[in-house]
Structure 1
Amino acid sequence: MSNNDIIVSLDIGTSKVRAIIGELNDGAINIIGVGSADSEGIRKGAIVDIDQTVKSIRNAIEHAERMVDIQISEVYVGIQGNHIALQTNHGVVAVSNEDREIGEEDIERVLQAAKVVALPPEREIINLVPKQYLVDGLEGIADPRGMIGVRLEVEATIVTGTKTAIHNLMRCVEKAGLRISGVILLSLASGMMTLSKDERMVGTVLADIGAGSTTVAIFDQGGLSAISTIPIGGEYVTNDIAYGLRTHTDHAERLKIKFGGASVEEADESITFKVTRMGSNLEKEFTQQDLVSIIEPRMQEIFHLIRQEVDRLGYGEKETGYVLTGGTVSLPGTAQLAQRELDASVRIALPNYIGVKDPAYSSGVGMIQYVSKYMGAGSGSGGTEKKAAPSRKASPAASSKPGMIERLKNMFNEFI
């Protein structure tokens, strides 16, 4: 990457579509623009209406463009959902150089060898994530370039997804007039930003509680070991409020944000608000305690399901703690309730950048960090240019337009 590059991440969620513009300045990241729009056409994290989703993407992009006066033409897109699956595989090649020094070509060959795996016809490889390399049987090598050896091996995690979900996501972004620089698994991006190196090594559960779904990602031995999606999230809390207070969902969402909390113990009975009842013009007064008594049971259920999923994945006894992120964990008292329900150490992670200090932005900011660290080589400037100012020219790699499948298969390179 050049000294001043622009990276744009696009996080298409159930409640919001968020576009974040990051500027790379000599390796340091500055968040210079944020655009968000209500997400239409997404249910439980899946696209159900392409035209509505395209409109939401355009609105978010235009919002970000107006904020910093930048024309966005290329984005990195986050992907998530219950169609994502992980499987491990092993690749082996003989070192080709006469002097037995391992080079880029050998690494590319061993990664390609690890991709040889039988898959159902409806699935395809999104990418391959190396866990460790082995040189002549020596384990635990992160980067074998320049080492001397005869036999090069890689242990890797293959990330796969259903063709329908992947192609529909890309179709929406391209119909919105954008080129896709790469597709990034949101759990990898969030994990890089929210978890320390030690947390990724010892076994930590990253729970991203969004509006329509909750993604449980388990990091162990330095990488992503397991992933699962629970089809329940913050919009269920909103629906409970709407039903309990007999009001409209939009109004329930506003009440949740303004007066909501996750723990009845911390609710204040002296805080009151009025609610217009559905089907009439009559208003009824409620206290914050009334509201939180509706929210808490649903939040308890979400944490119970997270714990259940961790046990099902076989990490119930191995996890050393939970890290929570996603828009829903912004509710006051969430960390205390989670600690009680999960019976483990819990912390809430959020980006440490001005303008995005909210757990809802963890995925979007994580994508920018991921790109700057692992996809920097040959990724170009993200295809952005200043209005009424000299253009930010993309590198040849960014300017070329490989096929959709090739773009998918070339992402995540060098994540270790």
Structure 2
Amino acid sequence: MVSVEPKRVDEPIWMRTLIGWHIVFWVLLVMTLVVSLSADFSPDRRIVYLSAFVVLAAMYQFVGSPAISSRRLLPSYAYRIVLIGCLMVLVALYPQSVFLMFIASAQMWLLSEQVREGAAFSLLLVIGVGAAQLWNAGWGWDAFWAILPWMAVSLVVTLLFGIWIERVITQSQQRAELIEELQSARDELAEAHHTAGVMAERERMAREIHDTLAQGMTSIVMLAQTAAVELRRGGTDSAAARLAAIEDTARENLAEARALVAAFTPVALSEATLTEVLRRQAERFAAETGVDVQVSLDLPDEEVAALPQGQQVVLLRSAQEALANVRKHAAATQVLITLGLSDDGVWIEIRDDGTGFTPSTADAGYGLAAMRGRVEESGGSVQVESAPGRGTRVQVLIPAEDL
């Protein structure tokens, strides 16, 4: 598999354009050298001229170019001084070499850390090249006044060009820092989303286990305790019935555990309608506890079957949790489960005639809190009405979806 190396964002844009500056330098240097070959030089002057070319090329290759990339102080100072000296020699011997001023002015600023430094070297460059032109012209006042406007214009242009380069470099560095900060913030946000997703998944798994496996295990424990009591009393037939109920509950729990590994849809809903599952749960609960449990439908079976799978899961889990609370706390004799449809959506109500409780303390346990969390994730709501000695009514409302 071919891996693609990510593009470096911490490298300023101007650093990625240095190849252009290198090409311009070498093109201007070679062009100046080629044009100078037709000039009428004395042998001594030609040797000095070519020597200055060689020194300048070597200094740029081994000192100037690396200094532009590394921004090291000492090499940058050394190269610029040599550059000004070599340019003075070239212009003094062949005035047309002044075209190298264009790239020399840019390099004065590329190697500068501050505006004052770039301005000082630019001034030194203009004065040096102007002095070389004046030497070539014979040091006369006429030549000085002729060269002075050119020097002034060159200095102004060089300063403006250099300040522009400095601003480009500064903005490039600021943008690189901003991109790095944005990437860091994006990574932190992605990590936070991942952590939140993991926590939400753990909470959902905890609710699924509480609503299925934990309640099934509670039924098994209670049935086993009842069977043990009946065996001690000699009721083998009733004990055998309890053991059969234990086996059925254990098998269902095993199926639920496998379903949790594969998906989160209850096994019962994959094999029957919500109405059938609710009635089966009621019959089993009645057989295990002796409580009279009734299931009432305020909507046709066809509409129940047409409910979205997610709604059916929430309604079933809510009923299971309410029955678990009745088993643990209510000491009820009758329970009524009602499934209905209203303008606001589909609802299920579980009402018992047990001991009741104070609703303000209901969230202390995990069961009702888990029910609320599951229902609210679906956009629904949970209402609990109860009082000590007056039974309990729990109603879950899920907003309508494609009903």
Instruction: Specify the TM-score bucket, using the shorter chain as the normaliser.
Output: under 0.3
Kindly name which structure, 1 or 2, has the bigger radius of gyration based on alpha carbons: 2
- Higher RCO, 1 vs 2 (CA within 8 Å, ≥6 residues apart): 1
Higher helix share: 2
- State the TM-score, normalizing by the size of structure 2: 0.20
